Amino acid sequence: MELAGLEKISDFCWEIPPQGKMRVPVLIYGSEKIVQAMDQKVAEQASNVASLPGIVKASFVMPDAHWGYGFPIGGVAAYDPEEGGVISAGGVGFDISCGVRTLLTGLKEKDIQPIKNKLAELLFKEIPAGVGSHGKIVLDKAEIDKMLEGGAKWAIAKGYGQQKDLDRIEEQGCMPGADPQAVSHLAKERQAKEMGTLGSGNHYAEVQVVGKIFDEALAKIFSIHQGDIVVSIHCGSRGLGHQIGTDYLKEMVVCAQKLKIDLPERELACAPIASELGKRYLGAMRAGINCALANRQIITQLIRNVFSYFFPGIELPILYDVSHNTCKVEKHAVNGHLKELYVHRKGATRAFGPNNPEIPQDFREAGQPVLIGGSMGTHSYILVGTTQSEQLAFSSAVHGAGRAMSRSKALKEWKGKEIIRNLEQKGIIIKAVSERGVAEEAPLAYKDVSDVVEAAHNAGLAKLVARLDPLICIKG
DNA sequence: ATGTAC
């Protein structure tokens, strides 16, 4: 991106002032280096987002942003229903409620060293992964509806986990307002055999060691210490979320035409929040959120079973579970007034600061854990939400490294086998269904996640707490 | 991300 077209607000914030059909400015967060490396298309897309009806304050761009469908991935936009605001399927993304969950193990690296290979093999055997992967769980129509209403709460009632897990999950593990009736039969059909599966692309289950602590006091509150083993899951709502996105984008294109909403691009299809379609999408999207929460809950239990085999009696409590592809109704201060807004976070993690009532009691004074998954073979990070982030981007932060290279280009550049061998030499075990998938996810096909989180930290979007280094990575 | 294109 050309810095010349931007107004520098601070060392970590750049503005595109409103022009043309833009109703509000675009605010891009990141260092000069990061913003320069950002695709020009992100500026265009974020400007388009700023032109949609009812947008409040600004169209925000996180440091890890890259080109997406309509809305950039790494974008945050809030719309006001009282100002004719809209809700957009493209503003949430296809993988509804994709997110990261981190589990604590209480183990140290030396504890797993003797069984590392066996642990990797058993995790790979027990967690279904890959495109179209099916689990052992098959849901009938009635049970799918219950899952879509209950989320992780449903999964726990089915025996996948414990009641206390819910305290550490966004929305207490169950998104209210989900409407299974708003989800197509096709979407449900696709999901019937996909519960408890990882999927493909950048999704993974990873055994990690806490490699660095940035803030001792906060790390202690999160129960993480240097050398601790943790397990992180990065996945979403699988075929169901994708189908909801596909179904509603089509409907929203028709709706926007009918209502003569001036769309800069067809991909920005949306519906007024107050419209029948808007409400129906919200109900379906919330069902998608519950699907993702249930999915991560089931995978959690599969992981617990594997760890129990090696470490009888081990618990693996949840540190936290947070999504980075959602639209949530939240109250935010706008010009001194508290307003109920529809906050789209597409490839952006919710990052509530201290004292927010949505945060688990144990973390209330510290702030919400912000879980940032890296790309394969690279670091992941735990940050914490700040008070400042509320003002900066409706309490949002980055979500991960973000692609630097297209999948097709990555395929030409690398072979899966050599990537696996290179990482093995660094002590990282990759267990993957598809060698092609590994090549597409090559570490160098992504931006440097460390740069991205550092920028988020410096911009004040969230605060660095700990770095996680990969030991075993299970991939689709 | 995705029954990796309807």
Å between CA of A83 and C1' of B1: 32
pLDDT of residue A261: 94
Answer for the pair A399, A60: CB distance below 8 angstroms, yes or no.
Answer: no
Residue bearing tokens 């004040």: A460
Q: Which residue is nearest to nucleotide B3 (CA to C1')?
A: A132
A272 CA → B2 C1’, Å:
27
Residues of chain A with pLDDT under 50: none
Name the residue ranges covered by the structural domains of chain A: 3-404+446-475
**What are phi and psi for residue A102, nearest 5 degrees?**
-115, 135
Q: Is the CB of A325 under 7 A from strand B?
A: no
- Strand B contact residues in chain A (32-91), C-beta within 7 Å: none
CA of A437 to C1' of B6 (A): 24
- From residue A215, alpha-carbon distances to A103, A168, A351, A464 in Å are 19, 21, 17, 7
CA distances from A246 to A72, A89, A130, A223, A252 (A): 17, 8, 20, 40, 10
Q: Is any atom of strand B within 7 angstroms of residue A235's beta carbon?
A: yes
Q: Domain spanning A3-404+446-475: which superfamily? A: tRNA-splicing ligase RtcB (3.90.1860.10)
Q: Is the pTM of this model over 0.75?
A: yes
Residue closest to B4, CA→C1'?
A131
How far apart, in whole angstroms, are the C-alpha atoms of residue A170 and residue A196?
18
Cα angle, residue A359 at apex, residues A354 and A363 outer, rounded to 5°: 65
Does residue A184 approach strand B to less than 7 Å at its CB? no
Instruction: Calculate the angstrom distance between C1' of B6 and CA of A384.
Output: 44
Is the shortest CB-to-strand distance from A128 to strand B under 7 Å? no
**pLDDT reported for residue A403:** 86
**Cα separation of A58 and A24, whole Å?**
5
Active site residues of A: 399
What would the pLDDT profile of A287-327 be if each residue is shown by its tens digit? 999 999 999 999 999 999 999 999 999 999 999 999 999 99
Q: How far is CA A146 from the centre of its chain?
A: 24
Strand B close to A454 by CB, under 7 A: no
* A369 CB closer than 7 A to any strand B atom: no
Whole-number Å distance between alpha carbons of A96 and A469: 27
